[in-house]
């Protein structure tokens, strides 16, 4: 059951939608604090957790890193830059139940869901990357 809408949750969702870059909880807090200095860090972190539990936003669990948050809640994958930590969406087919069913056939397990995280170097970091030595 979804909890009631609060002013704080609407402010936080609005910030997340404006940022649209898969921010961490700390980054969301900094953005919210810039416009609403009365909202505390614990409130932002707690509301982000609640909103992700309710499915209003998505929590993107990053291997060996802080969780990020996504205003897009439809099923999709993510890619993380190994240099700067940027996280972006990866929209691929197949996804969803089709992948789960293939995993069930291959493993014999009953699959309840999956996550995919690609790792690489983002376009911005590629621009500043030194060419490999010959």
What are all long-range contacts of 64-67, with beta carbons under 8 Å and residues at least 24 apart?
66/24, 66/25, 66/26, 67/24, 67/25
pLDDT at 98 over 60: yes
CA dist list (Å): 51 to 15, 44, 103, 111:
13, 10, 29, 25
* Helix, strand, coil share of the chain (percent; to 5): 40, 15, 45
User: In which band, very low, low, confident or very high, does the pLDDT at 5 lie, cut at 50, 70 and 90?
Assistant: confident
Mean pLDDT, residues 31-51 taken together: 96
Residue 82 DSSP class: T
Mean pLDDT, residues 51-71 taken together: 93
């Amino acid at each position: 059951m979804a909890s009631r809408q609060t002013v704080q949750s609407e402010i936080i969702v609005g910030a997340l939608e404006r940022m649209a870059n898969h921010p961490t909880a700390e980054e969301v807090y900094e953005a919210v604090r810039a416009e609403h200095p009365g909202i505390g860090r614990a409130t932002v972190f707690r509301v982000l957790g609640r909103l992700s539990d309710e499915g209003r936003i998505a929590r993107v669990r990053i291997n060996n890193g802080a969780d990020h948050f996504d205003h897009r809640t439809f099923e999709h994958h993510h890619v993380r830059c190994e240099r700067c930590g940027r996280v972006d969406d990866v929209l691929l087919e197949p996804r969803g139940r089709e992948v789960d069913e293939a995993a069930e056939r291959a493993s014999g397990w009953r699959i309840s869901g999956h996550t995919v995280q690609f790792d690489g170097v983002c376009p911005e970091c590629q621009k500043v990357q030194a060419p490999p030595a010959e």
